[in-house]
Amino acid sequence: MTGFGAADGLVGSLHVSLELRTVNHRFFSPSLKLPAALSRWEGEVREALRKQIARGHVTVSARLEREVAPGASIDEVRFADYAAQLKALRDANGLGGEVDVATVLRLPEVVRIGVEDEVPDEGASALVEIVDRAIAALSEMREREGARLAAVIQERLALVEAAVSRIAARAPERVIAQRDRLLENVAKLANGVALDEQRLAQEIAILADRLDVGEEIDRFRTHIAAFGETLRDGRGEAVGKRLGFLLQEMLREANTTGSKANDADIQRDVIAIKEELERIREQVENIE
């Protein structure tokens, strides 16, 4: 589910501004971009995210601002090594120009600002507290989006329920029609010959049992009720996986009903149900 959250605070003498962004993903997939001074607590940040976000690709980015600018120092040994290497490369490749001070100073770790000394070892708790506040802001935005998605899904679910009701109404009529057709065909084939009424009754019973979708309809309605209840009352907990499971069960009942149908009207409704279930599934993948 998409969302954004931000928070800031102090970690030692560093002012940390942290942003969280999430996009749709079936599983929890974090991506952390922490400054070097905070990277030692990547595990704690990842765990704080995992505890509160069950689904989504989560991007964490942080930037640092110093409350008091520390004094900078130059690593003279590193400076000399860089300068010697640059001169050697210039001469080896027949290049002109001088190796100037500004170029060397811009190379990695020549200028040291002592960031590590500014962050105490107990800074992990301060950083996690900032992360928690950013997650709270993120969750508020995701909840608003979740409410909108729930309304859309409820509309789709109502269409599925209506189609199931049509199938339930049509099913007994379809059995009677099949029975009458069987009797008519048998009478034509018998051509006036006496029939074994008991055997004929058995065949009709077998046909009715083969065509009966009552159990599928009952289970389907149970799944619809459970899905709707979870969607309405599942606030505050991760419900995406449960909704996904219920969708799989509904699809199974739809397939079984379709295989038993032997009726054009029921087949049309089964196809409509499967189309709506697929649309719902696409939305449910966005719900945590």
Contact 224, 160 (CB under 8 A): yes
Domain tally, the chain: 3
pLDDT in tens, the chain (288 residues): 688 999 999 988 788 999 999 987 778 899 999 988 888 899 999 999 999 888 788 999 999 876 544 556 788 888 999 999 988 988 888 888 888 888 888 888 887 765 444 566 678 899 999 999 999 999 888 888 888 888 899 999 999 999 999 998 888 777 666 666 766 666 666 666 666 667 666 766 666 666 678 888 999 999 999 999 988 876 556 688 889 899 999 999 999 888 887 788 888 999 999 999 999 998 887 776
Integer Cα distance of 196 and 194 in angstroms? 7
Q: Of the residues 69, 84, 102, which one is the last residue of a structural domain? A: 69
Note whether residue 130 is domain-resident.
no
Q: Within 10 A of 17 (CB to CB), how many other CB atoms are there?
A: 15
- Whether residues 151 and 211 fall in one domain: yes
Looking at residue 232, what is its pLDDT?
82
Domain end among 69, 95, 123: 69
Domain-embedded: residue 138: no
> What CATH number did the domain enclosing 208 receive?
1.20.140
Which letter does DSSP use for residue 236 in this model? T
Whole domain around residue 181: which residue ranges? Answer: 143-284
Among the listed residues 6, 58, 4, the one whose alpha carbon sits nearest the alpha carbon of residue 27: 58
Domain boundary among 69, 88, 120: 69
* Beta carbons within 8 Å of 158's beta carbon, 6+ residues apart: none
Kindly state whether residue 107 falls inside one of the protein's structural domains: yes
Say if residues 49 and 60 touch (Cβ distance below 8 Å).
yes
Supply the pLDDT for residue 68. Answer: 46
Contacts of 65 (CB under 8 A, 6+ apart): 14, 15, 17
Does 49 reside within a domain?
yes
Q: Are residues 207 and 271 in the same domain?
A: yes
